[in-house]
């Protein structure tokens, strides 16, 4: 099974993705995690990405597309994968279409976790307090920036898939378990997206 999880920062994509990984035996491809790993490993790409992430901006499309193309070609994706954090721009979505076409792969579901932006601001601020701000991009100013970047650059990705009739919006308000149940339901419901 191959899935895409869309949704703003703090919508709970990572949490839901991890659960789906356990349930369906697929791998989670989180571009945020990949970039943070590259940054802590101190690779040239990682260090450049870190400065961009800390500002709340997006890493350039060509870098992200190369990272994802390499990752999709690893053997552990054979059983399927869940994309979390990619695509984040319409150009990334188009590049992903080409990438998958070239490999003869399709996407089974594109799920958008829909959450009110005011609630998100609160959630991310809470996460920053709990983790003692272990993520350099969880400060108030950066959160506002990330939500703004989301509205301008990533919301159009949901629109791109909606227009093609392949988007499944899921209500992201409520507990982790409630949202998980809605996602499971939308995965069970027919394949006509
Ligand atoms: P969030 O909690 O904001 O959803 P992520 O862990 O997915 O966080 O991403 C953190 C940061 O990594 C983003 O703010 C951005 O700078 C960078 N990033 C992650 N994925 C992408 C992508 N597909 N394109 C560009 N930048 C990305």
150 lines ligand 1 (CB under 6 A): no
State the chain's mean pLDDT as an integer: 92
Kindly give the number of the ligand 1 atom that is closest to the alpha carbon of 8.
Answer: 4
Closest atom of ligand 1 relative to the 55 alpha carbon: 16
Regions of the chain short of the pLDDT cut 70: 132-134, 190-193
Q: Is the C-beta atom of 88 inside 6 A of ligand 1?
A: yes
Q: What is the pTM of this model?
A: 0.90
pLDDT of residue 138: 77
C-alpha 8: how far from chain center: 8
In which region does residue 10 sit, left (phi positive, over 0), alpha (psi from -120 to 50) or beta (all else)?
left
Confidence at residue 9, expressed as pLDDT on a 0 to 100 scale: 87
- Active-site annotation holder among 2, 13, 50, 109: 13
Residue-wise pLDDT for 7-50, tens only, equals 998 888 999 999 999 999 999 999 999 999 999 999 999 999 99
């Amino acid at each position: 099974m191959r899935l895409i999880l869309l949704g703003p920062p703090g919508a709970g994509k990572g949490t839901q993705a991890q659960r789906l990984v356990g349930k369906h035996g697929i791998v989670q491809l989180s571009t945020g995690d990949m970039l943070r790993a590259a940054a802590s490993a101190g690779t040239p790409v990682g260090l450049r990405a870190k400065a961009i992430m800390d500002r709340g901006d997006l890493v350039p499309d060509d870098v992200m597309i190369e990272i994802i193309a390499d990752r999709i070609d690893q053997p552990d994706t054979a059983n399927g994968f869940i994309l979390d954090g990619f695509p984040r721009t319409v150009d990334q979505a188009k590049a992903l279409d080409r990438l998958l076409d070239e490999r003869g792969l399709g996407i089974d579901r594109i799920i958008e976790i829909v959450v009110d932006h005011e609630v998100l601001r609160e959630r991310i601020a809470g996460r920053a307090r709990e983790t003692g701000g272990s993520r350099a991009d969880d400060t108030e100013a950066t959160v506002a920036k990330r939500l703004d970047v989301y509205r301008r650059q990533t919301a159009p990705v949901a629109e791109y898939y909606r227009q093609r009739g392949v988007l499944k919006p899921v209500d992201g308000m409520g507990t982790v378990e409630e949202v998980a149940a809605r996602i499971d339901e939308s995965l069970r419901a027919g394949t006509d997206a």
